[in-house]
Amino acid sequence: MSPARSRPRPAQPSAALPLDAVTVRKARSLARQAGRPIVRLAQQHTTVSVERATLRLAGLGGADPDGTPWVNHLVDAVRADTGIEDGVALPVWDSLTRGDAADLEELARKAAVGSVRFRIPSGRETTRVRSAARKAVGVGVRRIDARRRERERLIRRWGDAPRTPWIYLIVATGDIYEDMPQAQAAAREGADVIAVIRSTGQSLLDYVPEGATREGFAGTYATQENFRLMRAALDETSAELGRYVRLTNYASGLCMPEIASLAGLERLDMMLNDSMYGILFRDINPVRTFVDQRFSRQVHARAGIIINTGEDNYLTTADAVEAAHTVTVSQLLNEYFAKEAGLADWQLGLGHAFEINPDVPDSFRLELAHALLARQLFPHAPLKWMPPTRHMTGDVFRGYLLDGFFNLVGAMTGQGILLVGMMTEAVVTPWLSDRDLALQNVRYVMNACGNLHEDFRPTPDGFIATRANQVLSEGIELLQQIIDHDRGLLDAIADGTFGLMKRPADGGRGLDGVARKADGYYNPASELLEATT
């Protein structure tokens, strides 16, 4: 048994850059200072999605004929009677232990038509209700544990990806039954990780759609059944290929806790889970996001899932040179929140991207500096390296060259996960031939200079080292600015410190689904998950 086998071996943490250890410690300590009040805030609140995830872990799935999930019906009904300040576990299992319904689904059906009333149990009853709730939710948590062990077993049986970086390819047809053969073909062509892009805007749905879906907008809905189908298809191909092919989906949005739980239950291997993406790019309420994020990451930690963070988004909306330090700051914050939630270094696929305008002089050296900085700041994290999108045009020939340089930076800086760039980015969804050419590009670069990092040492006071140190110090300044706000990170997000949008703590979607926990708040899932941390 070697648990290390289920982890991307983070590349040789080369100490290529002369980074000052004191400065690096300072950056981490500032990130901690900025993040700690947010963690406290997350501990003091719950959300409808956290509560729904708890019911999902207790086995409640399915939806009514209109597609509204039973977990939504039940949580809404409880919220109307007792609020969610005490958590839904107490009123729900109070109702079940009193015999209102035989199981959760029956209770949800009754709640949907208003034929049950909920209350908060008191006194000695509470102990009995708690223990019933803990038992039910414990089944789901144990199933996640079993899924994690199953992954480790399958990796031992079939073998792991033969090298790093892991090659990450995307499918996105909108139809899960089209996605499956495409994903299998991509795996046969050499993908180590398959990501199924979600339907546009799913992150803004306050429920998780149900069942196998065949229609989506530029992507396929994340549902439990779609997860199950795709994992089964990749298991079949993994057995055939003799290597375990990983599956990725997206947690970010209004339903992070639920999607994270479903991912754990269906043995997904990686999840996109960014601490601030929903706030900045989707106008989701900051408190909602931070509460949901913490719970979802606790689930990922338990499930042995590797998270991918979304720093690439900063670079597609702002200039990649000017905004380089915002990536560093986001990585540091994502690292702090992730570790606080119980994730280990090997689970941190911190993101960054090759998005500098190729017309900028020395753009390649700048990219190299930024990528080396990330590598060296997070030596034990796999790091997810994302290809150019913003400066890809219809000129597919130039795009192919850019992707080659992107791969070269990946090779020279030992990235753990490499999202393969397509020359037809911004033109069409990838064709079979695009994918094949893209993989040839990756293979050529890795074969030609995969070990170049052994020889490559930037001059200590040269352009690359100077640039990396500059980005780090700008990052430290930004963290300092964040902390100097009255309410720290929340105020910084509100006044547009991240240079994108002003997102006040009392604005954005999903705020009405947030509640401050009462003294008697009880959530067996949190109890079990906190024990992991």
As annotated, the active-site residues are 277, 312, 384
Among 112, 204, 344, 449, binds other proteins (CB under 8 A): 204
Q: C-beta of 115: minimal distance to other proteins in Å?
A: 25
Q: C-beta of 201: minimal distance to other proteins in Å?
A: 4
Among 12, 97, 317, 473, binds other proteins (CB under 8 A): 317
Q: Which stretch binds other proteins (CB under 8 A): 35-43, 200-208, 241-249, 512-520?
A: 200-208
Contacts 24+ apart (CB under 8 A), 497-504: 498/276, 498/280, 498/314, 498/326, 499/318, 499/323, 499/326, 500/280, 500/281, 500/314, 500/317, 500/318, 501/280, 501/283, 503/279, 503/280, 503/283, 503/286, 504/286
Please report whether residue 173 would count as binding other proteins according to CB under 8 A. no
| Between 59 and 507, CB nearer to other proteins | 507
Buried b (16+ CB within 10 A) or exposed e, 17-55: bbbeeeeeebbeebbbbbbeebbebbeebbbbbbbbbbb
Peptide bond into 165 cis (omega under 30): yes
Please report whether residue 189 would count as binding other proteins according to CB under 8 A. yes
Closest CA to 294 of 1, 44, 467, 23: 44
Beta bridge partners of 390: none
Distance separating alpha carbons of residues 133 and 336, to the nearest angstrom: 31
Cα separations in angstroms, 99 against 25, 54, 110, 116, 139 = 56, 20, 12, 11, 21
| Between 228 and 243, CB nearer to other proteins | 243
Q: Which stretch binds other proteins (CB under 8 A): 156-164, 237-245, 258-266, 278-286?
A: 278-286
Please report whether residue 67 would count as binding other proteins according to CB under 8 A. no
Q: C-beta of 164: minimal distance to other proteins in Å?
A: 24
Q: C-beta of 426: minimal distance to other proteins in Å?
A: 5
Query: Could you please report the per-residue DSSP string of 383-409?
Result: -EEE---TT--S-HHHHHHHHHHHHHH
Among 372, 383, 500, 515, binds other proteins (CB under 8 A): 500
**Considering just the CA atoms, what is the radius of gyration of the chain in Å?**
23
Among 103, 114, 162, 217, binds other proteins (CB under 8 A): 217
Write the binding mask 355 to 394 for other proteins: x where contact by CB under 8 A, - elsewhere. Answer: ----------------------------------xx----
Q: Which stretch binds other proteins (CB under 8 A): 13-21, 41-49, 141-149, 194-202?
A: 194-202
| Between 89 and 279, CB nearer to other proteins | 279
| Nearby residues of 339 by Cβ (< 8 Å), 6 or more positions away | none
Among 139, 232, 428, 432, binds other proteins (CB under 8 A): 432
Among 428, 431, 460, 480, binds other proteins (CB under 8 A): 431
Write the binding mask 279 to 298 for other proteins: x where contact by CB under 8 A, - elsewhere. Answer: -xxxx---------------
Q: How would you write 432-464 as a 3-class SS string?
A: HHHHHHHHHHHHHHHHHHCCHHHCCCCCCCCHH
Among 3, 13, 201, 242, binds other proteins (CB under 8 A): 201
Q: Which stretch binds other proteins (CB under 8 A): 256-264, 277-285, 465-473, 480-488?
A: 277-285
How large is the angle between the packed helices 256-265 and 48-57, nearest 10 degrees? 20
Please report whether residue 245 would count as binding other proteins according to CB under 8 A. no
C-alpha torsion sign, points 495, 498, 500, 506:
negative
Q: Are 449 and 412 in contact (CB under 8 A)?
A: yes
Q: Are 35 and 340 in contact (CB under 8 A)?
A: yes
| Between 15 and 501, CB nearer to other proteins | 501
| Between 12 and 429, CB nearer to other proteins | 429
C-alpha torsion sign, points 261, 266, 269, 270:
negative
Q: C-beta of 191: minimal distance to other proteins in Å?
A: 13
Specify the pairing of strand 514-516 against strand 45-47. antiparallel
Q: Which stretch binds other proteins (CB under 8 A): 32-40, 123-131, 221-229, 431-439?
A: 431-439
Q: Which stretch binds other proteins (CB under 8 A): 14-22, 126-134, 332-340, 429-437?
A: 429-437
> How many residues form the binding site for other proteins (CB under 8 A)?
28
Please report whether residue 234 would count as binding other proteins according to CB under 8 A. no
Cα separations in angstroms, 188 against 162, 169, 226, 231, 433 = 14, 12, 21, 15, 14
| Between 88 and 353, CB nearer to other proteins | 353
Q: C-beta of 435: minimal distance to other proteins in Å?
A: 8
Residues making contact with other proteins (CB under 8 A) = 185, 188-189, 199-201, 204, 217-218, 280-283, 313, 316-317, 389-390, 425-426, 431-433, 436-437, 500-501, 509
